[in-house]
Structure 1
Amino acid sequence: MQNLPVQSYPLIKTRNEVQYKNYYLLTLFQQLPELRKMLAADTALQSALKSKTAQVNESLKNCRAEISCYAKALKFSTAEIADISNRLAAIYSDNNALGKLVMNHLIPSGCYAMYSKETHKDLLIKAWEQDAKAINYAIGVYIEGNKPNYPKIDSISFSSKDKEYAELTAASAGLTLQNKDNLFFEPAMQFALTAFELNERNDAADYEPMLKGVNLAAFNQIKKTDWKKYPYSLILVPGAGPEEKEVALSAGGMIRCRLAALQYQKGMAPFIVVSGGRVHPYKTKFSEAYEMKKFLMETLQIPESAIIMEPHARHTTTNLRNCARLMFRYGMPIDKPGMVCTVKSQSYYITDILLERCKKELGYYPYKNGKRLSETESEFYLNTTSLQIDFDEPLDP
């Protein structure tokens, strides 16, 4: 049976925006009172927590300056992941808090859309295994210094030989045990979240909550839009990061904005989506989406209520995926095509090559090509599988 996401489903958010975006199942374990109570009372899960606590205490005694020693204590081992999978499967029933979790949250959220053909019990297990793997991945990259998928822009900020860094890591490990009411996964999750913070890598939370800030004017406009008046739901502008530290908006970004403004003024779509995070060069302070929005408003006189910022994408693959997510989450018509507007080389890259790269990197096709409209414009249709969390891209999951 195909279980489809629901557009009106409100995500359960946490104060730390990075958390629910990366680990949605674990966030629900934490935030849903009936479920939290059930997990806290389970003796097998409690014993998994005790064993983790013992490993962390052991590491604080013995690891000294050995960073990977702390990481190993906090990460989930293959055996631990399997034990918890088996335990969740054993206590799962369609009518208890875990069954309700799958029906009322995991399926409608779309956050685990790639497992939508699984039975409800298996979907739960796969979601748990994904979140555990995501925590391990984050600790691997941002504590141990493993290579991320894109080392040039996403690497760790510290040297593993740095004595001070070893001290910070030890303190961070110690902090994971301070909460006396931890659930079995919370020490590991906190260790990962603190690692993002120490590395100044909370990129996934940039400009959040967007609906209360940068996208408020456009979101209010969406509710009043008569979609029948427009051939397209939106015009997507993929970012082009500058390579120099002091440049806020690249020449490529400006030209793309001008191309999009032209289509907007022709009445092709009621909204322009500017997409791109803080990507190039390494740890830049400039956000592509924010700078493009500024340029559209100040230089090209486009009203703020017509501009939607998507400030998280780090690659062309996620420009389209994240745009599909915003269309879905903001209540835009998902059967209406969008238009991608960019320079000729990137436009043809998106229609001719990018889909296979998406399949390879994300595991699915986030969009479907429509017609080519010109050298610089093409149509696309969103795929709701785009709501799937990407476990090995923690800066834009």
Structure 2
Amino acid sequence: MKKILLFVLFACTSFTAFSQAVKPMLLDKANVSANWMQIKNYYLLTLLQQDVEVSKMLINDPQLARLTKEKVDACTASLNCKEVSCFTANNKFSDTEIKLVSDRLQALYQPANPLGKLVQGKLTPSGRYNLYKDASPVELLVKAWEQDAAGINYVIDVYAGGQKPNYPQIDSISFNVKAKSYPIFLYNAAGVLAEDAKTEKLFFEPGMQAALLYLEINGRHDPANYEPMQNTVNKAAVEQIKITKWSTYPYSVILVPGAGADDLTTEITPDGMLRCRLAAQQYFKHAAPFIMVSGGKVHPYKTKYCEAEEMKKFLVETVHVPASAIIMEPHARHTTTNMRNGARLMFKYGIPLNKPGIVITDRSQTNGIINMAARCMRELKYVPYNLGKHISDTEIEFYPLTSALQINPYEPLDP
């Protein structure tokens, strides 16, 4: 399961909500494929894996090397497991192991060495760990490691162990963990992981690869859907962004949250159609140059229909909005992440931040967004936007915040 990785960094600095330009992403120029599941969920670990000099430091550290051997041996030991709890325990990081790594990273860190340069040049500017932006560089490194480790443990608990996720109706494991055949299935997975572990040299690779494998066999590749979007579903819009005369519009973008269906055959719901028509009315009135449709493959459980994709089809084929004026955000699973992911794409694609975006939806969801800050704090640990004017029952202004770039380790299907 060795992966060749393309790196995506969000280069941004702190700014007020009402002004300031944030540069779009920085790209590794290597022409390689990307493991988007890994990049989006375990950003620090991907950085450590990709940086040759940093990897060498970690591999040569005696205590981390010992931990690596222990984790590789645990993969082999899983072939003797009979119970689900045995498999998951061997894959996860213990509290003691997490503390050991935290201590070693702190000891190894020096501002001028490769690890220090990685933190200051890539990790901090990425914004992926913005919850710790006020910490010192070495403290941010430790917090980022602890977050990634917690995220790995969470995936293993949910998608191998069958524990309930935050939203069980849409995000649960695909298997009956109480079935007699399930430990045999995990034994087969353990065989794959044990073979991979023979060539793994970094202490976190066995656990990370276990988490990625469990997501894969559950059919949970949602974060990777449509990526890299600037080269696929959003290519025309990204090109149009480069030549847009922003000064001629009062708003930068019209954000339309999706509305999931109750059955597996409905492609787009009536609510989704109405929201699209409201947005199109404002688009044709020249309110903003782009409509951003937001929503993933969410409702019902394991639906094959993506809310954003179906809304884009409806806008293009039925309402006749140009495809180049539509930005797809096909990953959000909640209203909180409609807003967060919309903000992320505004940063990533270089959409100006000196004017507001506008959310257009039905009245009930508009009211929900107005009162959503507490829910954002509960589920995301931050609020990814500032709200502006409440224009009408169906329209409200918003300004993206850099807090939106923070990874959520407990929502691996849309971190």
Alignment of 1:60-75 (within 5 A): 60-61=79-80, 63-64=81-82, 66-75=83-92
TM-aligned CA distance change 1:280 to 1:394, over 3 Å: same
- Residue of 365, 375, 385 corresponding to 2:393: 375
Shift of 1:295: 0.1
Shift of 1:165: 3.1
> Counterpart in 2 of 1:327?
346
Cα deviation code 1:110-143 (max 9, x no counterpart): 1111111000000000000000000000000000
* Matched letter for residue 158 of structure 1: F
Contact 1:4-1:110 at 8 Å conserved across structures: no
Distance 2:341 2:58 in 1: 33
> Counterpart in 1 of 2:60?
41
> Counterpart in 2 of 1:364?
382
- Residue of 106, 110, 114 corresponding to 2:127: 110
Distance 1:233 1:35 in 2: 40
* Matched letter for residue 162 of structure 1: A
Instruction: Tell me the TM-score normalised to structure 2 length.
Output: 0.92
Structure 1 alignment gaps of length 5 or more? none
Contact 2:258-2:294 at 8 Å conserved across structures: yes
Q: Does 1:91 align with 2:120?
A: no
Contact 1:254-1:292 at 8 Å conserved across structures: yes
Cα deviation code 1:295-316 (max 9, x no counterpart): 0000000001100000000000
* Matched letter for residue 225 of structure 2: D
The answer to which of 50-59 and 258-267 deviates more is 50-59
Contact 2:24-2:349 at 8 Å conserved across structures: no
Shift of 1:9: 4.1
What is the identity percentage for the equivalent residue pairs of Structure 1 and Structure 2?
54
TM-aligned CA distance change 1:335 to 1:107, over 3 Å: farther
* Matched letter for residue 91 of structure 1: L
Shift of 1:38: 1.8
Distance 2:53 2:184 in 1: 38
Distance 1:171 1:187 in 2: 16
> Counterpart in 1 of 2:411?
393
Q: Does 1:175 align with 2:175?
A: no
Contact 1:35-1:98 at 8 Å conserved across structures: yes
Alignment of 1:264-343 (within 5 A): 264-343=283-362
Contact 2:200-2:206 at 8 Å conserved across structures: no
Distance 2:124 2:215 in 1: 28
Q: Which has the higher contact order (CA 8 A, sep 6+)?
A: 2
Distance 2:332 2:180 in 1: 34
Q: Does 1:243 align with 2:262?
A: yes
* Matched letter for residue 228 of structure 2: P
Cα deviation code 1:170-209 (max 9, x no counterpart): 2322323324243110010011001011100111111111
- Residue of 142, 153, 158 corresponding to 1:125: 142
Distance 2:389 2:260 in 1: 27
Shift of 1:11: 5.5
Shift of 1:3: 6.6
* Matched letter for residue 228 of structure 1: S
* Matched letter for residue 274 of structure 1: V
* Matched letter for residue 254 of structure 1: M
> Counterpart in 2 of 1:162?
179
> Counterpart in 2 of 1:57?
76
Instruction: Tell me the TM-score normalised to structure 1 length.
Output: 0.96
Shift of 1:245: 1.1
Contact 2:259-2:272 at 8 Å conserved across structures: yes
Q: Does 1:134 align with 2:151?
A: yes
> Counterpart in 2 of 1:30?
49
* Matched letter for residue 210 of structure 1: M
- Residue of 77, 97, 103 corresponding to 1:80: 97
The answer to which of 50-59 and 16-25 deviates more is 50-59
Moved over 6 A (4+): none
Q: Does 1:348 align with 2:367?
A: yes
Cα deviation code 1:71-117 (max 9, x no counterpart): 00110000000000000100100011111111111111111111110
SS at 1:162 equivalent:
coil
The answer to which of 169-178 and 285-294 deviates more is 169-178
Contact 1:14-1:27 at 8 Å conserved across structures: no
Distance 1:255 1:181 in 2: 51
SS at 2:392 equivalent:
coil
SS at 1:373 equivalent:
strand
> Counterpart in 1 of 2:23?
7
SS at 2:128 equivalent:
coil
Distance 2:283 2:13 in 1: 36
Distance 1:3 1:339 in 2: 23
Distance 2:222 2:85 in 1: 24
The answer to which of 341-350 and 137-146 deviates more is 341-350
